[in-house]
Amino acid sequence: MKRAFLLPALAAFLIAANEPGLSPEEETEHVVTAGETLGGIANRARVPRILIAEANGLKPPYALRVGQKLAIPRTRHHVVKRGETGFTIAYNYAVPWRDIAVANGIDTNAALKPGQKLLIPTIISQPTPAANAASAPPQAAVSPTFAWPLAGTLRRGFTPRTESNYHDGLDIRAPQGTAVRSIAGGKVLFAGTEPTQFGQMVVVDHGDGWHSAYAFLSRLTVKEGDDVSPGERVGLVGNTGRAQGYELHFELRRNNRPVDPETYLAERK
């Protein structure tokens, strides 16, 4: 009798054990089962508990419920190269430097050393709480319109990061030395050399979470901290970084996330 009872249970266990699925160290979403705690899930996933809590909007004491789905922010690894700064690393991964620093237990102002190994957390957008969404008055979405940084031939367009061959901006071919102009007024956040892919680059803060970047430049004509006017020259077209000939690599970001520039740039004349 006992053996007859155990056989179906054993069969069910073997079927479940052989079903295709990700290991705890690989899964990007976890469904909470009875008795699980956030600490236990974090240990099995090998992801810091605080990152899972932040990704899912959890507050102490981090109570979980059976069936609850948790997003698991997977980490990537980066070895610091000579000349890299927190800003350039954060820009390359589209992850705020504050979040990278938290994931690695270092101060945001700490100096980086070549060869230093960093974990790069995956930032997951949190949904707006239903209560807030219900009480918020409806507002019409207003999208800004920016000017093109230069006239040229579009060699490669934008591809979102959800695709394996993603491309965060536009590559625009133009003659060497063509003036590259700020798409709107703002303040220069970065003007220098990014050593891994962008070459000489300028990043401008336009306010309200909007940033524009101009890379592959042969020369910079602004410096960090400068205020720039709409259409002001920020650099000259070059062939630095990973450029494929003389071209501008241009990016537009909102809250540090790359967006398709052509959606927000004025119609080309």
Q: What is the 3-state secondary structure (H, E, C) of 180-223?
A: EECCCCEEEEEEEEECCCCEEEEEEEEECCEEEEEEEEEEECCC
Give me the residue spans of the domains in the chain: 24-73, 75-123, 153-264
Q: How far is CA 120 from CA 33, 82, 114, 241, 253, in A?
A: 28, 18, 16, 22, 19
CATH value of 153-264 in 3.40.50.720, 3.30.70.260, 2.70.70.10, 1.10.150.120: 2.70.70.10
CB of 71 closer than 8 Å to CB of 107: no
Distance of CA 141 to the CA centre of its chain: 23
Q: Which residues of the chain have pLDDT under 70?
A: 1-22, 123-142, 269
Question: What per-residue confidence (pLDDT) applies to 17?
Answer: 34
Pair of tokens at residue 40: 């236990």
Question: What per-residue confidence (pLDDT) applies to 194?
Answer: 93
CB of 187 closer than 8 Å to CB of 227: yes
Q: Is 18 left (phi over 0), alpha (psi -120 to 50) or beta?
A: alpha
In sequence order, what are the beta bridge partners of 207? 210
Q: Cα angle at 236 between 230 and 238, to 5 degrees? A: 140
Question: What per-residue confidence (pLDDT) applies to 7?
Answer: 41
Domain 24-73 has CATH 3.40.50.300: no
Q: How far is CA 268 from CA 44, 142, 153, 178, in A?
A: 52, 21, 11, 17
**Which H helix or E strand runs over 252?**
strand 247-254
Superfamily for the 75-123 domain: LysM domain (3.10.350.10)
Domain 75-123 identical in fold to domain 153-264: no
Q: Which residue has the tokens 């957008």?
A: 125
pTM (two decimals): 0.69
For residues 148 and 168, what is the distance between their CA atoms, to the nearest angstrom?
A: 16
Q: Which residue has the tokens 């695709």?
A: 163
CB of 251 closer than 8 Å to CB of 166: no
